[in-house]
A and B are shown apart, each in its own frame.
Chain A
């Protein structure tokens, strides 16, 4: 009963976010507020982790910024700041958390593409 009440005040599922899996290359379109102007910022990279937990579900995207510095960002799946998420390709991965990518750079940090 109390769980139903909690669910009723939580944010609804964002329809613009497709099914995301570890290893996917995605671009996350974020709404950014600058003063009174709103613009869309894109964050593109590999999903290295997804945590399913209802209202608090989140996923982490890793990308290599300039000078080969790895940048990871975690997004809440139900955040109203996410405009949309585009999945650009799936990868063949054998684990759910791709933390091994953190120790790798260049060629060895690539994942094999998966075609369905």
Chain B
């Protein structure tokens, strides 16, 4: 069975494990998701499963979106996302809940990180900045040199420096599942998950177990 869910980040807290040790836990409201389409190698050239998440009134969807779902008798869904899979062992219309995962299993989580705006080199890439003392002024968080001198006479493309930070797609690998609440569609993962509260999260089986 394919393992993947779309969810919403709820927030972080601490939960005590059976040893009495406090663990950092992120809660995610995950699923229920419905399989809305299956992409086959013969037809689309690759294999993946499209999942839908979040109920919505059908007036909020465009005709094309609605037609795509109605073709398979699926109720209107807010979000559709594709999950690449090796084996297509699932049918259109099937429902996936948090039960696809088990406690103790490891998962990969993808989300959109919080936007940091235009950030300097110190925050963005961990540059050291300038010295704090010895007569320095205005050099404390400066990036320093960006390259060599007359040869090559320019800054190479891709050189690290200040710029826009965050608001990227970020994947965190191998987070441990510590809590599953089937009734409320809750998933608890040990550690932090990219994005703000309420942000869209995709959960997959871990590449590295």
Residues of A at the B interface (CB closer than 8 Å) are 2-3, 5-6, 9-11, 31, 33, 55-56, 76, 78-81
Q: Shortest Cβ distance from B26 into chain A, in angstroms?
A: 10
* Known contacts A79-B16, A81-B20; A9 and B11 CB within 8 A of each other: no
Query: Hey, which chain A residues are within 8 Å of B25, CB to CB?
Result: 9
Q: Shortest Cβ distance from B143 into chain A, in angstroms?
A: 37
Query: Hey, which chain B residues are within 8 Å of A2, CB to CB?
Result: 10-11, 197-198
- Measured between alpha carbons, how far is A11 from B181 in the docked complex, in Å? 16
Residues of B at the A interface (CB closer than 8 Å) are 10-11, 13-16, 19-20, 22, 25, 27, 29, 179, 181, 184, 186, 188, 197-198
Q: Shortest Cβ distance from B2 into chain A, in angstroms?
A: 27
B179 A9 Cβ-Cβ under 8 A:
yes
A5 B16 Cβ-Cβ under 8 A:
no
Q: Shortest Cβ distance from A34 into chain B, in angstroms?
A: 13
Partner of B184, one of A3, A5, A10, A80: A5
Of A2, A9, A10, the most chain B CB neighbours within 10 A belong to A9
B16 A11 Cβ-Cβ under 8 A:
yes
- Measured between alpha carbons, how far is A3 from B12 in the docked complex, in Å? 10
Chain A residue with the shortest CB-CB distance to B188: A9
- Measured between alpha carbons, how far is A3 from B27 in the docked complex, in Å? 11
Q: Shortest Cβ distance from B191 into chain A, in angstroms?
A: 16
- Measured between alpha carbons, how far is A3 from B13 in the docked complex, in Å? 10
Query: Hey, which chain B residues are within 8 Å of A6, CB to CB?
Result: 10-11, 13, 27
